[in-house]
Structure 1
Amino acid sequence: MTHPVSQPSASGKPLLEVNDLKKHFPITGGFFGGVVGNVYAVDGVSFSIARGETLSLVGESGCGKSTVGKAILRLFPLTSGQVVIDGQRIDDLSAARLRPLRRAIQVVFQDPYSSLNPRMRVRDILAEPIINFGLARSRAEIDERIAGLMDKVRLPRDAVNRWPHEFSGGQRQRIGIARALAADPDLIICDEAVSALDVSVKAQIVNLLQDLQNELGLALLFISHDLAVVEHMTHRVAVMYLGKIVELAPRREIFAHPRHPYTEALLSAVPVPDPETTRERIILKGDVPSPIRPPSGCRFHTRCPYVFDRCRSEEPDLKPTGEGHLAACHLHDPAEAHRAKPAASVPV
Structure 2
Amino acid sequence: MNTSHSAPPLLEVRALKKHFPVRKGWLGRATGRVHAVDGVSLQVGRGETLSLVGESGCGKSTVGRAILRLFDLTAGEVLIDGQRIDQLPETRLRPLRQKFQVVFQDPFASLNPRMTVRSILAEPVRNFEPSLSAAACEARVLELLDLVRLPRDTADRLPHEFSGGQRQRICIARALASRPQLIICDEAVSALDVSVKAQIVNLLQDLQAELGIGLLFISHDLAIVEHMTHRVAVMYLGRIVEQGTARQVFAAPRHPYTQALLSAAPGSGGTRKRIVLKGDVPSPLDPPPGCHFHTRCPYAFARCRTEAPMLSDKADGQWAACHLDSLNDATAST
TM range (shorter): over 0.9
Paired AA for residue 217 in structure 1: G
What's the offset of the Cα at 1:30?
A: 4.2
Structure 2 CA distance for partners of 1:160 and 1:285, relative to 1, 3 Å: same
Residue-by-residue CA offset, 1:297-333 (whole Å, 9 max, x unaligned): 1000111111111111111111111211110001127
Q: Distance in 2 between matches of 1:159 and 1:341?
A: 63
Pairwise mapping of residues 152-167 of structure 1 onto structure 2 (< 5 A)?
A: 152-167=147-162
Of 210, 213, 226 in structure 1, the residue corresponding to residue 221 of structure 2 is 226
Asked if residue 118 in structure 1 is aligned to residue 113 in structure 2, the reply is: yes
Question: Percent of counterpart pairs with the same letter?
Answer: 68
Match of 1:323 among 285, 300, 316: 316
Verify the 8 A CA contact 1:298 1:315 in the aligned structure 2: yes
Residue among 154, 166, 171 paired with 1:171: 166
- Per-residue CA deviations over 1:156-178 (Å, capped at 9, x if unaligned) read 00101000000000000000000
Tell me what 1:185 maps to. 180
2:42 alignment partner AA: F
Q: For residue 274 of structure 2, give the secondary structure of its aligned residue in structure 1.
A: strand
Give the whole-Å Cα distance in 1 for the aligned partners of 2:332 and 2:117: 55
Q: Unaligned regions of 5+ residues in structure 1, if any? A: 1-7, 343-348
What is the distance in 2 between the residues matched to 1:35 and 1:225?
31
- 3-state SS of paired residue (2:91): helix
What secondary structure sits across from 1:128 in the alignment? helix
1:138-195 deviations in whole A, cap 9, x for unaligned?
1100110011110010000010100000000000000000000001000000000000
How far residue 271 of structure 1 moved from its aligned partner, in angstroms, is 2.6
Q: Which of residues 189, 206, 210 in structure 1 aligns to 2:205? A: 210
**Is 1:28 the equivalent of 2:19?**
no
C-alpha contact 1:248 1:327 (8 A) present in aligned 2: yes
Distance 1:171 1:9 in 2: 40
Following superposition, the deviation at residue 278 of structure 1 comes to 4.9
Out of 35-44 and 134-143, give the one that drifted further.
134-143
Structure 2 SS opposite 1:209: helix
Q: What is the count of residue pairs matched by the alignment?
A: 332
CA distance in 2, matches of 1:84, 1:135: 26
Root-mean-square deviation over aligned CA pairs: 1.9
Aligned to 2:75: 80
Please state whether the residue corresponding to 1:330 is helix, strand or coil: coil
Residue deviations 1:263-301 (CA, integer Å, cap 9, x gap): 00111012337x8x4531000111110000000110001
Q: CA deviation at 1:341?
A: 7.5
How do residues 308-319 of structure 1 correspond to structure 2 at under 5 angstroms?
A: 308-319=301-312
Paired residue for 2:331? Answer: 340
Deviation of 1:44 (Å): 0.5
Deviation at 1:10, TM superposition (A): 5.4
DSSP-derived class of the 2:324 partner = helix
Match of 1:37 among 32, 35, 39: 32
Question: TM-score, structure 1 length as denominator?
Answer: 0.92
1:61–1:225 contact (8 Å) kept in structure 2: yes
Per-residue deviation, residues 23-79 of structure 1 (Å, max 9, x unmatched): 100111246432111000001000111100000000000000000000000001111
In structure 2, the residue corresponding to 1:84 is in which secondary structure? strand
Partners of 1:272 and 1:279 within 8 A in 2: no
The Cα of 1:115 is off from its aligned counterpart by: 0.6
Q: Which of the numbers 222, 234, 239 marks the counterpart of 1:239?
A: 234
Give the Cα–Cα distance (whole angstroms) in 2 for the partners of residues 135 and 320 of structure 1: 47
Offset of 1:11 from its aligned partner? 5.2
Measured after TM superposition, the shift of residue 128 of structure 1 is 0.9
- Contact 1:10/1:50, CA 8 A, preserved across alignment: no
Residue 283 of structure 1 is aligned with which of 276, 293, 303?
A: 276
Describe the SS at the equivalent of 1:185: coil
Residue 178 to residue 82, structure 1, CA distance change in 2 (3 Å): same
